[in-house]
Structure 1
């Protein structure tokens, strides 16, 4: 297998990092105009539908589940954040909802990101949905039946020496985020692909987004939209590469050659070379 230089090896990270930087800048804006406010209110739903259509067309169950997990967390937190922005107070279940999302989001995201698609498409999708359903029902049951005990367990300070002001999530969330990030990074290093790069960078964005849910108006909508867009763009980019580039060498394939020849018109010259020991 040919050795890849560093620039090409990490080239898949450029677009996700650009979107992440853009989301951080946009999230820091104190006030968005009416157009952008309305846009980011509907964009997560639009991206879920668009990304779901891409995933169905290209048989990508893993990415569909990642989009679904991000959207569910966005929906749950958006309800709480909207009430806080409008009324200036939190709903009674806001703290428990936020802390559960902070813990379960990286766990499910990391699980789905590392869960390889190796079985039948329908079986794989049903298995992933069964896991999501079981986790959701268990979390809902605990929150409904033992709200105070669950909240106390989540917010317990287990490592006092690590308790600092800039760590704004519950302590349990950070080891889960760390394990998921390490797993997704190793996956990308083993097999650099646009989807793997987007999964890794999007999880970093989710880690940066959660502390801003209540403190920065619009941060949840803006960052959720652009992080979901990151995953959708990666799916489209990978589909393009599969169609137009050779997977082994990364060189343009026959379809790319045909398109290039069509653009040249009727007059062109083709040179062929036979490379030994390739």
Structure 2
């Protein structure tokens, strides 16, 4: 469900933008027609800029997409170039197969071996779809025509039933990838696939629709790169919650009344020593996911290591104590099942002590062991004696130390 929400959040705005550009092109407004004739090279320039920016940010797939999207548009601008005028199968279908392959691939960069590998892979994808098209085109496809008869007939006259079926099949394969990993990058790449059939739009508006659609895709690419780069800078890669840099940025928006909470996973080193760093990473992700669910208007950040920071703007300690207690209990009562234990080969004395601190629970019915995770919390508010954020954080750190001395798994507040 969470992945579907991310997919809708990231893909729907781009699809709406693409749909609006299509409606504008279909309107054939005189100003658009004039712009189409005078600025026919603008989409190619926009794609080149998007590709260069993607390359700068190591988005090799997006750079290759930009390069390939130039081909069908160039076929519209220069119809005398014969090798761009493929009819069976159309150039856009071959490019879509290449792009679907890239969506399932990963960013490899443009080192010579990786570039050659990418070229070989997309060439193979084009060869496969070409072979499939040639084989199926010799077969009676009445069943396929009946199967796609329910689709809207708008513009389908430009495509044969086989082309329509292959387009739909490739889009479904790409959609599966986007649903599994709905990143900004994948959503931008998927939306660009919807452009390719549009470049075969029949009639006088073909060039205009191509211009608006490619400009829209260039904008979507740029937005995708910017959003991914923002996430890399302000999101913690392991846990997915805002990072320390985002915390420092957020601090600048705080007023004169707020509470800072420092939280620490109890005996975290014991988890790593007993179960391995893979389980330690699972613990961090678990705690981070619970921290983000804190109530009372708190905002959680990963400060570093096993420490987290929660900011309650416009709050006093008495107003947030119950929310912290609820969060503490939520974490302590959560049953974490160890999926990939990495236990030491020999049980040393230190390992045995660590295991006792980690507090393993009995094994579940499936035979997997679960562990108890607890956190300690220290809170402090901004005051006249601690007016700067770092001073408030230091007081929260001291309160956290009080919680550790009190036996851990508790909340302490410094006035």
TM-score bucket of the superposed structures, by smaller chain: 0.7 to 0.9
Partner secondary structure for residue 271 of structure 1: strand
Instruction: Say whether 1:227 aligns with 2:217.
Output: yes
State the match for 2:36 in structure 1: 37
More strand by share: 2
Unmatched runs of 5 consecutive residues or more in structure 2: 264-290, 292-327, 332-372, 374-415
Structure number, greater radius of gyration: 2
Alpha-carbon distance in 2 for matches of 1:213, 1:122: 40
Match of 1:241 among 193, 208, 231: 231
What root-mean-square deviation, in Å, do the aligned CA atoms of Structure 1 and Structure 2 show?
A: 3.8
What's the CA shift for 1:100?
Answer: 2.5
Unmatched runs of 5 consecutive residues or more in structure 1: 84-90, 143-151
What's the CA shift for 1:40?
Answer: 5.5
Alpha-carbon distance in 2 for matches of 1:202, 1:237: 17
Match of 1:189 among 179, 196, 200: 179
User: 1:90-135: per-residue Cα shift (whole Å, max 9, x none)?
Assistant: x998964585313212111212222223688442223223456788
Change (3 A) 1:36 1:258: farther
Judge conservation of contact 1:77–1:98 (CA < 8 Å) in 2.
no
Change (3 A) 1:119 1:48: closer
Judge conservation of contact 2:201–2:209 (CA < 8 Å) in 1.
yes
Change (3 A) 1:124 1:15: farther
Q: TM-score, normalised by structure 1?
A: 0.73
Judge conservation of contact 2:158–2:202 (CA < 8 Å) in 1.
no
State the match for 2:191 in structure 1: 201
State the match for 1:159 in structure 2: 141
Instruction: Say whether 1:52 aligns with 2:51.
Output: yes
Change (3 A) 1:118 1:225: closer
Judge conservation of contact 1:12–1:194 (CA < 8 Å) in 2.
yes
Change (3 A) 1:36 1:116: same
Change (3 A) 1:22 1:160: same
More helix by share: 1
| Count of residues in correspondence between the two structures | 253
Judge conservation of contact 1:65–1:128 (CA < 8 Å) in 2.
no
State the match for 1:62 in structure 2: 61
Alpha-carbon distance in 2 for matches of 1:224, 1:38: 15
What's the CA shift for 1:48?
Answer: 2.3
Q: TM-score, normalised by structure 2?
A: 0.51
